[in-house]
Structure 1
Amino acid sequence: MKFLVVGAGGTGGCIGGYLAKLGEDVTFIARGRHLAAMRENGLRVRSARVGDFQVKPVKACTMAEYNEVPDVVFICVKYYSLAEAVDFLKPIVGKDTIVIPILNVYGTGEKIQPELECTVTDGCVYIFSMIEEPGVIHQPTPIFRMFFGLREPAEAAGDVGAGEDSGKCDKAAGQLEERLQAIEQTLNKAGIEAHLTREIRRDALQKFSFVSPMGAAGLYYDGVAADFMEDGEKRQMFFDLVHEVEAVGQAMGITFDVDLAENAGNILDGLTPDATTSMQRDVAAGGRSEVDGLVHEMVRLGEAYHVDVPNYRRISEWVKEKGIE
């Protein structure tokens, strides 16, 4: 399979790095000094999971330079860069290409599926990693768990029309399932704990129930992980936000198979005490952030499903007052 990783930051760098280390055909879309360093020295990954390794040479280019048809695309950009990534993919994907968005924001695949003439799954990943310096990815904790899958069984029919016989639909569904299983097997062989799930809406929202509260509370209090590990106002706010995500999920008809608060607490306890979220780092750097997808989106979902989310509204209003984008 030809893998294309759009966004070679902490997440994309690890996904593509692990696959390239295995010997898979991987191309990274990158830019700036990071791209220049990868071209000159390859990609180095400092991993607490599999040990440090380097992939050299590495296939890396800009969007304008890419001229292949990928079999599998991992979108690993920030939410505010999603539209640019989709515009890039429109002319290059084939009808059999499988696109797997790995973003912090819930429901990304469903949003972009109408724009791409191929199968777009939803996906999420549990990982703590970042660009340490150009050409170097640091993964200081060993967790690396990915979930991806189709939102509805009907999606497995691909582009087979309703007027065609059910045999063609079944064949298309079977072929797509085989390709998805092959991706899962390759990811696991590369050292990533990958799960092809039939409950991606549940699994993605479960991940979101940590990322969004952590991002929102971390930004609001300008706090590090240690601030939320101790009892007090900050920790209470974090768990109140988790419960609001849970309430919205239940209103959406999603049944969770774990206690979301307990799950979020376990993830929090596994962070390094000085950990901050990527949204905090983006805001601190004066750039764009994922605040729309991680904070404002929860307010919109609350309104859409008639669920009160007072803490998200409070933070959303504070964000707007501060002029944070």
Structure 2
Amino acid sequence: MKFCIFGAGGTGGVLAAYLAMAGNEVTVIARGAHLAAIQEKGLTLRTNHRGTEQIKKVKACTAEEYADMPDVLLVCVKYYNIDDAIAFAQEKMNAEVLIVPVLNVFGTGGVMQEKLPELTCLDGCIYVMGEIASPGVIYQSDKMLRVIFGYRPQQEVRLREKAQELETVMQKAEIRAHFSDNIIRDALQKFAFVSPAAAAGAYFNATSEKFQVDGQERELFIGLIKEVEALGQAMGITFTVNLVETGLNIMDALKAGSTMSMQRDIQRGGNSEFAGLVNRVVELGTEYHVAVPLYQQVADWGAKNL
């Protein structure tokens, strides 16, 4: 398949590397020194489980320079840059392109679809631990790599064959892909890990090993998961896994020193997804009449410190 990946950071860069190594045509939309390095040397993927891969066949350009038409547009930016992705899709994509956002923030596909009514925007999520180590170099610290995508309830089902093909193509690229028949449930199950992990990590300014042993960090992480679970139940979602157990299993398997991208962004003093990963849960609590005191505690901390 032919892919355009909007955003070449820890999410988009990892996906670009795996898809290109499997023989797919991949172009990443990037900028600055990262773009220049990829154009000059290709994309480098550094991992603990498969060593270092140099992928020279990954193409790279700016959003303005892109002049192709892919089968699939993967949107892999932070939520605060979602408007840039929407503008790119409006200008560059046609109705035959399947758009799959794989962001941390729950419900991104619906946000994009509302502004792109002529296009097909699924919802999606990803489990991955990746970051830009240096220009042109992506570090995947854990072998976990899973992508879930699907149509929302009542969404017009267009390009279904392409969505089914995407699942197969990703699986052949060693990406655990799943074309879900209940993406709202599956996306919220993923959100129930990344949001609590990011919120608790930022609040305590702690890395993964602090959450792998009993203590206040782990207790907050568990409590935040339970609040997301309560919200999901209020939305009418029946979860297929134990969210606390699943979250702890993921956390306990992480390499020591691991952090969520929101926490790293906060540490760097730049924009972060705090509004989408923390404040949004407080808003949903009000909307669905669910008490979320721990999220409120983290949101109050953010209002004073960020």
Question: Which category of TM-score, normalised to the shorter sequence, fits these structures?
Answer: over 0.9
How far apart, in 2, do the equivalents of 1:197 and 1:49 lie? 28
Residue 169 (structure 1) aligns with: none
How far apart, in 2, do the equivalents of 1:284 and 1:81 lie? 19
What is the identity, as a one-letter code, of the residue corresponding to 2:193?
Answer: F
Who wins on radius of gyration, i.e. which is larger?
Answer: 1
Which of residues 301, 304, 314 is equivalent to 2:287?
Answer: 304
Residue 289 (structure 1) aligns with: 272
Are 1:223 and 2:224 counterparts?
Answer: no
Are 1:209 and 2:192 counterparts?
Answer: yes
How far apart, in 2, do the equivalents of 1:120 and 1:49 lie? 33
Query: Shift of residue 154 of structure 1?
Result: 4.3
Note if contact 1:8-1:76 (Cα within 8 Å) is conserved in structure 2.
yes
Which of residues 232, 241, 247 is equivalent to 1:249?
Answer: 232
Root-mean-square deviation (Å): 1.2
How far apart, in 1, do the equivalents of 2:258 and 2:48 lie? 16
Query: Shift of residue 70 of structure 1?
Result: 2.3
Residue 137 (structure 2) aligns with: 136
What is the identity, as a one-letter code, of the residue corresponding to 2:252?
Answer: D
Note if contact 1:70-1:94 (Cα within 8 Å) is conserved in structure 2.
no
How far apart, in 1, do the equivalents of 2:144 and 2:213 lie? 23
Q: How does 1:192-203 map to 2 (within 5 A)?
A: 192-203=175-186
Q: Deviations over 1:127-180 (max 9, x none)?
A: 111111111111122111110010125421x4xxxxxxxxxxxxxxxxx22111
How far apart, in 1, do the equivalents of 2:48 and 2:180 lie? 26
Are 1:272 and 2:255 counterparts?
Answer: yes
Q: 1:115 to 1:235 in 2, by over 3 A?
A: same
What is the identity, as a one-letter code, of the residue corresponding to 1:151?
Answer: R
How far apart, in 2, do the equivalents of 1:48 and 1:96 lie? 37
Residue 100 (structure 1) aligns with: 100
Residue 126 (structure 1) aligns with: 127
Q: 1:232 to 1:83 in 2, by over 3 A?
A: same
Residue 11 (structure 1) aligns with: 11
Query: Shift of residue 52 of structure 1?
Result: 2.8
Paired-residue identity, %: 48
How far apart, in 2, do the equivalents of 1:198 and 1:51 lie? 35
What is the identity, as a one-letter code, of the residue corresponding to 1:267?
Answer: I
Q: How does 1:81-92 map to 2 (within 5 A)?
A: 81-92=81-92
Query: Shift of residue 69 of structure 1?
Result: 2.1
Note if contact 2:29-2:61 (Cα within 8 Å) is conserved in structure 1.
yes
Structure 2, unpaired ranges of 5+: none
What is the identity, as a one-letter code, of the residue corresponding to 2:222?
Answer: F
Q: Deviations over 1:215-257 (max 9, x none)?
A: 1111111111111112122111111100000000000111001
